Chain A
C-alpha cells in the first residue's frame, strides 16, 4: 500500500497516454459488458423461475395455427392438472403502432390460478369486477404508468393480427416480478371469440398448471400421444422450453456476441501490451536506479504489475459504470425492438465476468514487458541513460 503513490506517479508520467489507453479500455469494457448482459438477459428468458409449474400446449405446426378450445376438456381431465387457461397473443397496439406491448386474450377465471406468480397486487373486488365485465381488461403497473392509465379508463386497442379493435375498460392494475411481466395487458378470451369469426372455438395455446414440475414431462407426453394422428396435433412444452423457441428465433445471436467479444478482447490486449511496453521501456533507467537503490527484482516486478493492474481496474470499473448508466436507455431502445429485452439489466455475474476479463488483460499485457525489464541487469539499464 505504501507504494501506491509511486505506482500512481508512474501511471501519470505520461498523462495523455494514460488517458487515451484508459478511454480505449473504458469503451471496450463498456461494449463487452453490454453485449454479455444482452446475452444473459436472453438466457434468462428461457430460465425463469417456474414456481407456477406451467406448461404450454399448442399446435404442432406452429404458433400461427390454432387448437380447438374443446381440447381443453381432455386437458382438464388429467389428474396432474390443476388449471387450464386458453390464451392468445393479440398483438394489438394503443393509438400508434409504435406503442407496442404484449397483450393477450386469456381465460378470465383460470388465468389467475395459472399465472398466480406473474399477476399480483389485485384485490378480490378488482378481480371480480374484471371477470364480470366482458369488455374489461387488466394492465401491468409499468404499462399504466407509461400511458397514465387509471382504473376505470377506457382504452382502444387496435388489432394487427386479428380484424378487431376492442375498446377496453381497465378494471385493475397488477404487479409482476419483472418489467416484461408488467408491460402486459390481458382481456377476456370470449371477447376475441365473439369479435373474430375465425377464432370461434379456437385458441392459440393452452397454459396449464400442474401440481408439481415433475408431472410435466409425463402429462405433456400423454397429451401429445392422445392427439397424435388427429387432424390437429399438439405440441406440449414446459414454459422455459416454450420461451427458448422464441429466443432461438433470433438466430445465432450468441455466436455473434461471443465472436465480437473475443475479437475485442484480442484487440484490446494487443493495444494494452503495446502501451505498457512503451511505458516500461521509457523507464529503463529509472528501473535500473530503483534496483541500484536496493529494490529487489520481485519488488520492481510487483510495482510494474501494480501499475498495469491499476490501469485496467480503473478502465474496467469506469466501463462497467458507464454501462450501468446507459442500461436504462438501452432497455427502452432494445425493449421496443424486442420484447424480451425489456428485462435488460446488468447482472452481478456479468459485471464480475467483465471485470475479471479486464484484470486478465491487464495481467497479460503487463507481465510481458515487466519481466523483460526486471531481467535486464542494472549496469545495462543504467547504460541506456
Chain B
C-alpha cells in the first residue's frame, strides 16, 4: 500500500516537473491558457467556487481529525510512564493501593528532585456537568499530588491560582469554560458530598488535560470515600529506562502492575476520534471525485469552444505535447484558484471549540478546529491533484484535435 502510494506520488511529481519545464520553455501557450481562464470569467468562477467548497470541507475535516489527535499526542512526555493495574487499559479502570504507590515511588529508576521522587499518585473520577445546550456531559476530574502539575509542563495557569491541598479546591481548563457555563472562577459545585470551589483556570495547549478538572488527590479520595489511587505517573531518569522499569513493575511480587509509556497511553486514546474520522474521510473521498468530474466538464467545454485557437497554436508550430501541457496548466490553475478560495473559507471554522466523548472512559474530550499552514498546504496540494486528474483527459483531447479540422472550425 505504502509502495503503491509512493509510486503514484513519484509519478505525479515527475509529471508536474515536466509541466513546469514545458511552461518555462514555451511560455506563449501557457500564458494564452491562463488568460483564457480570465476570458471565460463566469464558467471559471462557477467551477472554482464549487471546488473551493470541496477544498474547504477537506481542510476542515483534516483539522478535526488533527485536533483530536493533538489532544492526545501532545499530552505525554517521552520519559514518563503511567503505572496501572494490568489490562485496565484506561486510567479510570485502574486501581493502585497506597502501599503499591509507595513502592513504585521508591524505585531507583525514578528521577529525583531534591531527594524527592518525581512521581504523582493520582485518582480519576467522573463528574457530570451541564453543557451550554443544557445536556449533561461527563468530565474527568483528576486528583493529583503537587508534583503532578510540574510533570505536565505544557499546562500553564491562566487566571486565579492553583488548587490548594486540603481545601477542596479545583482548577479548571480555560478552554472548557465556553462549553460548560458552570465552570466559572469563584463559583462552587457539589461533588461526592462536598462543596468544591473553582479557584483558577489553566491552559493545556490543546492536550487532553484541556478536558479535565484538576484537584488534590487526597481531597478527591476522601470525598469519594476511595481507598485506592487510580494510577501513578512517574518520571524516569532517562527514556532508555522505560523498558527495564516496565519489567520491574511487572515482576516485583508486591506490585504485578503494568507500566505504560505516557506517550503510547495517549496514542491509544486517539481511537475515540475514530467515528468522526471515518465519516470525515468518507466525505472527502466522495466529494473530491465529484469535484474532479465537475472540473473535467468545465475543461472539456473550454477545449471544445477553442478548437480554432488550438489550431492556430498548432499552425504556429507548437507540438501536441506543448498544447497538452498548457491545457493541463489551465486545469491546475482553475483548481488552485478554487483551492485558494477554499483555504479562505476554511478559516470560518478556525478556532471553534468543540468536543466529543470517549466511549471507553465516558468522559468529555475537548478539541478545537485549528487551521494550520500545514493543513492549508495540504488543501492546495489536494487541489493541484484534482487539477491534474480532472484536466488530463480534456487536455489530451485538446492536443489531439487534428490540425485540418481545427483550422476548418
Contacts and interface: CB of A to CB of B under 8 A. Distances in A.
Interface stretch (A72-80, A259-267, A353-361): A259-267
Interface stretch (B158-166, B170-178, B275-283): B275-283
Given A24-B290, A24-B293, A267-B291, 8 more contacts: A23-B293, A24-B291, A31-B283, A163-B87, A264-B57, A274-B43, A275-B297, A333-B278
A70 interface: no
B77 to A, nearest CB: 27
Contact of A250 (B53, B275, B296): B275
For the side of the interface on A, what is the size category?
35 or more
Nearest to A30: B286
Contact of B47 (A266, A271, A338): A271
Interface of B: 42-43, 46-47, 49-50, 53-54, 56-57, 64, 85, 87-89, 92-93, 125-128, 135-138, 191-193, 225, 274-276, 278-279, 282-283, 286-287, 289-291, 293-294, 296-298, 300-301, 354-357, 359, 361-362
B187 to A, nearest CB: 19
13 contacts: A17-B300, A21-B293, A21-B297, A27-B287, A27-B289, A250-B357, A256-B279, A264-B53, A267-B50, A267-B54, A274-B46, A274-B47, A275-B297
Nearest to A60: B128
Contacts of B192: 61
Given A61-B191, A270-B46, A337-B274, A252 B128 contact: no
Contact of B49 (A34, A252, A270): A270
Given A161-B93, A251-B355, A263-B56, A61 B275 contact: no
A67 to B, nearest CB: 14
Given A24-B290, A248-B137, A267-B53, A160 B89 contact: yes
Given A24-B294, A31-B283, A64 B137 contact: no
A273 interface: yes
A245 B135 contact: yes
Interface of A: 16-17, 20-21, 23-24, 27-28, 30-31, 34-35, 38, 60-65, 160-161, 163, 231, 235, 244-245, 248-253, 256, 260, 263-264, 266-268, 270-271, 273-275, 278, 333-334, 337-338, 341
Given A63-B362, A249-B359, A17 B57 contact: no
Contact of B362 (A62, A263, A334): A62
B51 to A, nearest CB: 8
B294 A264 contact: no
B127 A61 contact: yes
A71 B282 CA distance: 46
Contacts of A31: 282-283, 286-287, 290
Contact of B128 (A23, A34, A62, A251): A62
A314 to B, nearest CB: 15
Contacts of B53: 263-264, 266-267
B137 A249 contact: yes
B87 A65 contact: no
B87 A160 contact: yes
Contacts of B293: 20-21, 23-24, 27
A60 B43 CA distance: 59
A17 B301 contact: yes
A226 B257 CA distance: 41
A268 B294 CA distance: 9
Contacts of A333: 278
A341 B137 CA distance: 21
